[in-house]
Structure 1
Amino acid sequence: MTTPYITPAMLTSRPAGISWAVVPTLNADTAAQQAQLEQVCWVATSVLDTYCRQPLRATVKTDTRPGPGMPRVAMDRATGAGILVTEHRHVTDTVALALAPARTYPAAWSVIPLGQYRPRHPVFPGAGLSTGPVGGHTVDVAPGHIDARWGRGGWLVQLSYISGWPHTSLTAAAKAGDTQISVDDVTGWAQGWSGMAYDGPATEQVTAPTATATTPLVLPNGAGTVHSGPGTVTLAAPLTQPHPAGTVVSALPADVVHAAVLAATVQALETIDAIATQSLSGELAGGTGALATEVEMILDDYRRVM
């Protein structure tokens, strides 16, 4: 189970121009309110990913395409280097590359050693909190691998990579002084990202130099494994505050989190009784169009365009 970009606890602690006590109705009990808020948070998360045409949280993606001389797979004729254009933007790490002759059935895959490929626009997570879009969508491959020996489209190229920002939540309570936390998704954290543990007045910054999945994700066609899914994140410094299970720990840029709050507000306003609250002039107040437009403006720079 993954974590939405905004949770009810984060949502209700932020000013959003709405009283969350009226969600979904004025007379709803606490359980109904909590259930609706959780639904609103998940819908807001889906809205962000759908608008950006890709998940913003860190995920492991595998692209398989023919090349060279085909869309997204090329060879630089001057250097012999391979050029791969990934389906998802914000590539933060390349984890495996495998090749197979396109004419061979079943495909006979050969794994390319690490160090023979790299993101063209590398990300340096250790530089601190991410405050905006990072990572490109181009991967360079050392000469001699994606060549023209089999002609145009003669190779199948399988690239596995991580795109997006690490985002997770605690699966068990953490104490002040802890240097390891149990989370629902370790994807991306092993790169040394800094993020925030969002816990109201106890919110604090954390940096994770290493992370270990309980069961590493097995990549296709024998390309190896990668740490993704539930597991343990090791922190560079002890926690200064205790945090309950469910606390969000995220490296998502602050404007993405803000966009999630606005998107959740839009979803809530469309379902609560207050949507029909009248202004002093007698007209309906609280339209959601401006909020939805602001969400899109924030996300435009994160959107996948290829």
Structure 2
Amino acid sequence: MTDLAIAANGLRKSYGDKTVLDGIDLAVPEGTIFSLLGPNGAGKTTAVKILSTLVSPDPGTGGIHIGGHDLASAPQAVRASIGVTGQFSAVDGLITGEENMLLMADLHHLSKGEGRRVAAELLERFDLVEAAKKPASTYSGGMKRRLDIAMTLVGAPRIIFLDEPTTGLDPRSRHTMWQIIRELVSDGVTVFLTTQYLEEADQLADRIAVLNDGRIAAEGTAEELKRLIPGGHVRLRFTDPAAYRGAALALGEVTRDDEALALQLPSDGSQRELRAVLDRLDAAGVEADELTVHTPDLDDVFFALTDTAARPGRTDQPKETAR
């Protein structure tokens, strides 16, 4: 438990007859980024609310430890060790960015001098010094998000929950936010990230869990999850019909597209498999005009797992962990 920033066993939550979380297990090592993926309504925000003490889990939930503290018996200690940035900005638009920061310093019971020092350091770190004296209502979406995270860091939390932090941001602001998140982790902070952007999880997360229908459908690194899904292939295209026929004969079982003069064969995209294909073509004296490799990405993983898990009439969907 000492090496885990977040540990939850059998996490359950229902609202009436709607089961939102159906006994999920979570284990997040310190100083890592853990991403929880899932479609709308999968229970991502509910999980964050429970882990950050905003909502109580249902009876029957096993132990939950955050930063080494038991959530049930020491909620105040948990709150002191975490920071939360929700889907919707907590920034007060009627006051300036600096005043938002100082308000957070007051809430953390920092002295006036310490509060001003921390606010100034964070405003500089998040490139908000020039805008600090302006009303937050005048900030762009990316600036508000940066201010939101800066406010979260006033209490120097070692664990941060980021619930869809880049929703609505333009690509440049999103990449800026990714860099901020990486810097936090390089400082030893643990980040629990929920997102609907599969590229975001692929870029940032050390480990990813796919949540669907209240359960963890699969968990692993991005590469481990991609290997769970079949469909990788190599596509070869030719301009010479004779070369096309020769390649088809040399490669054996392939999917042919006679109109496009293209061949497709299953492959995991590894260097070994590609070399074997090229060696067989060389032996036949054939050269492809174009070679492309497709390996499953997180989009493929997401759709395959959520489509399967959500299939009507399923009686059970066991958790699958990539190794």
TM over 0.5: no
- Return the TM-score normalized by structure 1: 0.25
Query: Normalized per residue, which structure has more helix?
Result: 2
The structure with higher relative contact order (CA 8 Å, sep 6+) is: 1
